[in-house]
Amino acid sequence: MSNPSLLILAGDGIGPEVMDQVKRIIGWYGDKRGLNFDVSEDLVGGAAYDKHGVPLTDETMAKAQEVDAVLLGAVGGPAYDNLDFSVKPERGLLRLRKEMDLFANLRPAQCFDALADFSSLKKDIVAGLDIMIVRELTSGVYFGEPRGIHIEDNMRVGINTQRYTEAEIERGARAAFDMAMKRNKKLCSMEKANVMESGILWRDVVTEVHADYPEVELTHMYADNGAMQLVRAPKQFDVIYTDNLFGDILSDCAAMLTGSLGMLPSASLGSPMANGRPKAMYEPVHGSAPDITGQEKANPIACILSFAMALRYSFDQGEEATRLEAAIEKVLADGARTGDLMGPEGGTPLSTSQMGDVILAALDASL
């Protein structure tokens, strides 16, 4: 049988730096665990624009459709801020999500014990935090039509449309309920049914799907209250299911509870392919961080944890994923810190590749 295939799209900013560490981890799994992958690499975002004039070529898109999983670094940067909207780096990422139909975006927010002091919230509010946000990723206001900027009565008008079909709400809801079944069987659905019809439909459809998951305790919350509850008492949540835009916002909020955006991975999953694996892309929640690009300061953990999610969700290697997560927990407990994880007491931060070194050493020690 041939090796599973991975397409690496490191992208812009710190994307390539953090992805270099992931490549070392992938190499380790080949050498030490006999888990070999056929890895190919290509461009996305500003890097693709610089070479091809578009943030994602049709060829790269076609490759992404064929591989078993895509690993993405980050896209965007100040050099591309003034580009025409249609060729902005973000469009490359959104095209991948849309054309691969990656409707279920899993964003875990887990607070590592060693980092509980780094949260902007009090330690006892975040210690032991472990929640999973399931964000609908292929519809809603990100893609709804009509959209655009046009002139009405000599005035510019900007339009975006929040649009959801019941089928779109339902398939994401099933992913969220399935996730809840594997965890603590609690699901909170968030929308704005008090002001948006799409929110009313959202609530109805999620309630209907609940009939198939009687063991799961389902609650509904307005998304603004959800934001407040996330910073007030985040441990009340297990799985949260929400739409594309609310999910974007609430996941940044949840991420920061854990101490650093540099720690948070994500998986974007679609329907099963012919080989039974879901269409999948894995990426850190953080962005391209232009302020620290090229300085070997970036924290590679979010990107490495994204690869752990790939092991778990695409390659059925849950134990190896746990091994990698445990190695990261170990190095953090031992005090390994990149710059984003430095407390007020200071100290010398590890570089990106030094963090890779200690994680590889912890993996070796796990054998």
Contacts of 212 (CB under 8 A, 6+ apart): 174, 177
User: Does 334 qualify as catalytic in the annotation?
Assistant: no
Q: Three-state secondary structure along 322-334?
A: HHHHHHHHHHHHC
User: Does 252 qualify as catalytic in the annotation?
Assistant: yes
Amino acid at 91: R
Q: Which residue of the set 49, 142, 282, 313 is catalytic?
A: 142
> Closest distance between Mg ion and the C-beta of residue 287, in Å?
8
> Closest distance between Mg ion and the C-beta of residue 252, in Å?
5
DSSP, collapsed to helix, strand or coil, labels residue 111 as coil
Residue 90 partner contact from ligand IPM, Mg ion, none using kind-dependent CB cut-offs of 5 to 8 Å: ligand IPM
Closest CA to 326 of 72, 16, 105, 110: 110
Residue 325 partner contact from Mg ion, ligand IPM, none using kind-dependent CB cut-offs of 5 to 8 Å: none
Residue 138 corresponds to which tokens in the numbers above?
């292929």
Closest CA to 299 of 319, 325, 272, 328: 328
Of residues 37 and 246, the one with the C-beta less far from ligand IPM = 246
Residue 126 partner contact from ligand IPM, Mg ion, none using kind-dependent CB cut-offs of 5 to 8 Å: none
The answer to whether 297 and 339 are in contact (CB under 8 A) is: yes
The whole-angstrom separation of Cα 320 and Cα 308 is 8
> Closest distance between Mg ion and the C-beta of residue 246, in Å?
11
Of residues 133 and 205, the one with the C-beta less far from ligand IPM = 133
Q: Which residue of the set 31, 38, 50, 224 is catalytic?
A: 224
| Residue 99 makes contact with ligand IPM by CB under 6 A | no
Binding mask 213-252 for ligand IPM (x = CB under 6 A): -----------------------------------x----
Residue 93 partner contact from Mg ion, ligand IPM, none using kind-dependent CB cut-offs of 5 to 8 Å: ligand IPM
Number of residues that bind ligand IPM (CB under 6 A): 4
Instruction: Name the residue with the smallest CB distance to Mg ion.
Output: 248
CB atoms within 10 A of CB 364: 11
User: Does 224 qualify as catalytic in the annotation?
Assistant: yes
Residue 258 corresponds to which tokens in the numbers above?
């854990």
Q: Which residue of the set 88, 192, 279, 297 is catalytic?
A: 192
Tell me the CA distances in angstroms from 221 to 45, 205, 211, one per residue in order.
Answer: 35, 14, 19
Closest CA to 63 of 90, 38, 88, 89: 38
Instruction: Name the residue with the smallest CB distance to ligand IPM.
Output: 90
Residue 99 partner contact from ligand IPM, Mg ion, none using kind-dependent CB cut-offs of 5 to 8 Å: none
Binding mask 33-72 for ligand IPM (x = CB under 6 A): ----------------------------------------
User: Does 192 qualify as catalytic in the annotation?
Assistant: yes
- Burial class of 216 by CB neighbour count within 10 A (0 to 12, 13 to 18, 19+): buried
User: Does 142 qualify as catalytic in the annotation?
Assistant: yes
Amino acid at 37: F
Q: Residues in the site for Mg ion, rule: CB under 5 A?
A: 248
- Burial class of 54 by CB neighbour count within 10 A (0 to 12, 13 to 18, 19+): middle
The whole-angstrom separation of Cα 171 and Cα 94 is 19
Q: Which residue of the set 20, 101, 252, 357 is catalytic?
A: 252
Binding mask 77-96 for ligand IPM (x = CB under 6 A): -------------x--xx--
Binding site for ligand IPM (CB under 6 A): 90, 93-94, 248
